[in-house]
Amino acid sequence: MTEHIRPEFTPGTLPTFNGYHLQIFASGRAKISLQTLTLKKKQEFYTVLPKRDREGLRRQKARSLKDLPEHYAAVDQLLSDHPDAKVFRVHEKGNNNWTADNAHVLASLEQEALWLVMSGVVHKWQLTAMLVDVLLRGKGKRTGEASIFNEYMPSYEHDWEDAAFELADYKEGHRDVGGQPSEVPQLRQSPRPTPKPLSPTPKRESRTTIDPMTETAEDYVLDDPDDPSIFTDPPHDPPYEPFPDQPEGTAWETKTFKGGTAYGKAGLWAAYRNGDRDQISTLRQ
């Protein structure tokens, strides 16, 4: 039966799309939006997780395995590799009964991943454990809630061939229920206050006024120890008397002071008795 084979997912039609959006909702549904070349129209499909997903898959295989051998071979291989995976049925938006047998979504909590199988083309989307758990449990509202995951994968990233997308490839990744990226909140640093302009420090006037033409003691401070002026005699030094020449080996001729009469006690007393006061004054000086 070919009525359950949607042409949008066939190998001949997939290359006509620019890419597709993959959205995940807290209600446990995923949405696939194939983007047309004109960018004005999208082909939208939703997924549903049956309570007995393997039984539903067997019914689909019974009616379309003959026409879709490669597609079901890819699905069976994924289930063999990941036994915990659940199989989601894909249907057209607005018509739950219009099922696409050539498109399936599988999700594994152990692998933290989702696979989109389209006529044998397999795209693996690496997710977080939280996203897969929400998709499998589906406890959120079915209407009025924004998606918690919304990524667009252009065709030039995969050329409608088998591909795998990692978390680093996503623009936003997991988003919270408010539709904002769910990431580790960054601490906001309060803006630094604008520094006040520094007022110039008033210059202190010196209490001592120095005539600019007056020399001070600092004018003679020599900073350079190698300055030759340090080793030059000052110009105002008094002249000195040279020592008289003396033959080498000759001792200097000296006189021994024996105490003159005029300077003795007896001499002073005699002068006082004679009334020679001028002589006494001379002796005192």
Render 135-150 in DSSP notation, one character per residue: HHH--S-SSS---SEE
Q: Given this model, what pLDDT does residue 225 score?
A: 45
Checking if the pLDDT of 48 tops 60, the result is yes
3-state secondary structure of 113: strand
Render 59-93 in DSSP notation, one character per residue: HHHHHHTTT-HHHHHHHHHHHHH-TT-EEEEEEET
> How sure is the predictor about 119, in pLDDT bands with cuts at 50, 70 and 90?
very high
Alpha-carbon gap, residue 204 to 16, rounded angstroms = 84
In this prediction the pTM is 0.61
3-state secondary structure of 143: coil
Q: What percent of the chain has pLDDT over 70?
A: 60
Q: Given this model, what pLDDT does residue 100 score?
A: 96
Residues composing the chain: 285
Q: Given this model, what pLDDT does residue 183 score?
A: 42
**Quick check: 121 and 161 in contact, CB under 8 A?**
yes
- Distance between terminal CA atoms of the chain? 153
Measure the CA angle with vertex 34, ends 104 and 82; round to 5°.
25
Q: Given this model, what pLDDT does residue 181 score?
A: 45
Sheet holding 113-118, edge to edge: 149-154, 19-24, 30-35, 42-48, 86-92, 99-108, 113-118, 121-126, 163-165
Q: What percent of the chain has pLDDT over 90?
A: 48
> How sure is the predictor about 179, in pLDDT bands with cuts at 50, 70 and 90?
very low
H or E element at residue 57:
helix 53-64
Alpha carbon separation from 64 to 6, 91, 99 (Å, rounded):
12, 15, 12
Neighbours of 173 (CB within 10 A): 18
3-state secondary structure of 130: helix
Take residue 283 and report the two structure tokens written for it: 């002796």
Mean pLDDT, range 64-84, rounded to an integer:
96
Alpha carbon separation from 102 to 11, 58, 69, 79, 186 (Å, rounded):
10, 13, 10, 16, 43
Q: Which of 34-38, 161-165, 200-204 has the lowest mean pLDDT?
A: 200-204
